[in-house]
Amino acid sequence: MDAIMRRIFRWRLDRYKKRGLQIADDCRMEGMPMFGSEPYLVSIGKHCLLSGKVTFITHDGSTFVFRNRPEYSDVIKFGRITVHDNCFIGYGVTILPGVSIGPNAIVAAGALVTKDVPEGTVVAGLPAKVMMTVDEYAEKVKAATPDYDRDLYKSDKRAELLRLYPYPW
């Protein structure tokens, strides 16, 4: 079954690429992102990880509400979305038209990215705001890393994590 799912995933990704999606070969995806109706307006650089349920919105369909008025009949609103090299996009992130992310940036789970994300920053929230630099985040995570058995973690990750974080009851 796993091989079938990988083939379907690869087929879907290839279809997006044929429709113009730019994505480096070394990117990782945890599930297929929603690239929208204009995948040719999405570019993703090298060494990026996209978590599940990431959505790229390259247009603003709300112009539907006023395009029937003569003075707005030719109005359109689209924008390229660019994710630069070495970025992490968390679970459930939505990225709006015209946004550029990174390089070396982290977008926290659930964020709504409405503006450009500066290089080397961590953003979070609705709308996404800069929380800290990636270096500050790395130090924070390092300081919070528990003393764990690296060999056991490599051989039996589940057992080591349950030793560190046992069931509450």
Whose CA is closest to 39, among 1, 3, 81, 98?
81
Report d(CA 91, CA 95) in Å as an integer. Answer: 12
Q: Which residues of 23-50 are buried (b: 16+ CB within 10 A; e: fewer)?
A: beeebebeeebebbebbbbbbbbeebeb
| Number of residues that make up the chain | 169
Question: Are residues 60 and 97 in contact, defined by beta-carbon separation less than 8 angstroms?
Answer: yes
Catalytic-residue membership of 59: yes
Encoded tokens for 125: 């929230």
pLDDT, one tens digit per residue, over 140-165 is 999 999 999 999 999 999 999 999 99
Q: Which two tokens stand for residue 7?
A: 């083939």
What is the topology classification, in CATH, of domain 2-133?
A: UDP N-Acetylglucosamine Acyltransferase; domain 1 (2.160.10)
pLDDT at 1 over 80: no
Q: What is the pLDDT of residues 83-137, one digit of tens each?
A: 999 999 999 999 999 999 999 999 999 999 999 999 999 999 999 999 999 999 9
- Listed by start position, the domains of the chain span 2-133
Q: Tell me what the mean pLDDT of segment 38-47 comes to.
A: 98
For β-strands 129-133 and 121-124, DSSP reports them as: antiparallel
Does this model's pTM top 0.85? My answer is yes
Indicate which residue of 47, 53, 59, 163 is catalytic. Answer: 59
| Strand-strand pairing, 81-83 and 42-44 | parallel
